Amino acid sequence: MTEITFPDKDVVVLERKNFQSLLDALSDSGYELLGPTVRDSAIVYERIHAVDELPVGWVDVCEPGKYRLVKDKKKTLFGYTIGSQSWRRFLHPPTNKLWEATRDGNGFKVIQPEPDQVKRALIGVRSCELAALAIHDKIFSQGQYIDNSYRERRRNLFVVAVNCVRPGGTCFCASMKTGPKATSGFDLALTEMYVSNRHYFIVEPGSKAGKKLVDKLPVKQPKESEIKAAQKELNRAAAGMTRTIDSEHIGKLLNKKFDDPHWETIAERCLTCGNCTMVCPTCFCTNMEDSSDLTGQHAERQRKWDSCFTMDYSYIHGGSIRSSVTSRYRQWMMHKLVYWQEQFGMLGCVGCGRCITWCPVGIDITEEARQLTVTE
21 or 286, CB closer to another protein? 286
Among 335, 355, 366, 369, binds another protein (CB under 8 A): 335
- Give yes or no for residue 292 binding another protein (CB under 8 A): yes
Total of chain residues touching another protein, rule CB under 8 A: 57
Long-range CB contacts (< 8 A, 24+ apart) of 57-63?
A: 59/166, 60/168, 61/169, 62/168, 62/169, 62/170, 62/171, 62/353, 62/356, 62/357, 63/169, 63/170, 63/357, 63/362
- Give yes or no for residue 117 binding another protein (CB under 8 A): no
Among 5, 95, 242, 323, binds another protein (CB under 8 A): 323
Among 143, 220, 228, 239, binds another protein (CB under 8 A): 143
Among 17, 41, 315, 360, binds another protein (CB under 8 A): 315
Number of residues in the chain: 376
74 or 99, CB closer to another protein? 99
Least distance to another protein from the beta carbon of 266, Å?
14
Q: Helices marked H in 182-261 — which ranges?
A: 208-214, 224-239, 250-255
Ramachandran bin of 310, using left for φ above 0, alpha for ψ from -120 to 50, beta for the remaining angles: beta
Contact at 8 Å (CB) between 153 and 120?
yes
Least distance to another protein from the beta carbon of 276, Å?
15
Among 327, 346, 362, 371, binds another protein (CB under 8 A): 327
- Burial (CB < 10 A; 0-12, 13-18, 19+), residue 192, is buried
- The candidate with the shortest Cα–Cα distance to 323, out of 308, 335, 333, is 308
Distance of CA 207 to the CA centre of its chain: 20
Site pattern 151..170 for another protein (x: CB under 8 A): x-------------------
Least distance to another protein from the beta carbon of 284, Å?
6
How many CB atoms neighbour CB 1 within 10 A? 9
Least distance to another protein from the beta carbon of 191, Å?
31
- Please state whether beta strands 198-205 and 286-292 pair in parallel, antiparallel, or not at all (unpaired): unpaired
User: Cα(237)–Cα(233) distance, rounded to whole angstroms?
Assistant: 6
Segment interacting with another protein (CB under 8 A) among 22-30, 116-124, 180-188, 337-345: 337-345
Residue 138 C-beta-side C-alpha neighbours within 13 Å: 17
Least distance to another protein from the beta carbon of 299, Å?
4
- Give yes or no for residue 268 binding another protein (CB under 8 A): no
Helix or strand (DSSP H, E) at 322: none
Least distance to another protein from the beta carbon of 315, Å?
6
- Give yes or no for residue 308 binding another protein (CB under 8 A): yes
User: Cα(307)–Cα(186) distance, rounded to whole angstroms?
Assistant: 29
Least distance to another protein from the beta carbon of 86, Å?
17
Site pattern 233..262 for another protein (x: CB under 8 A): -------------------------xx---
In the chain, the amino acid numbered 266 is I
31 or 340, CB closer to another protein? 340
- Give yes or no for residue 147 binding another protein (CB under 8 A): yes
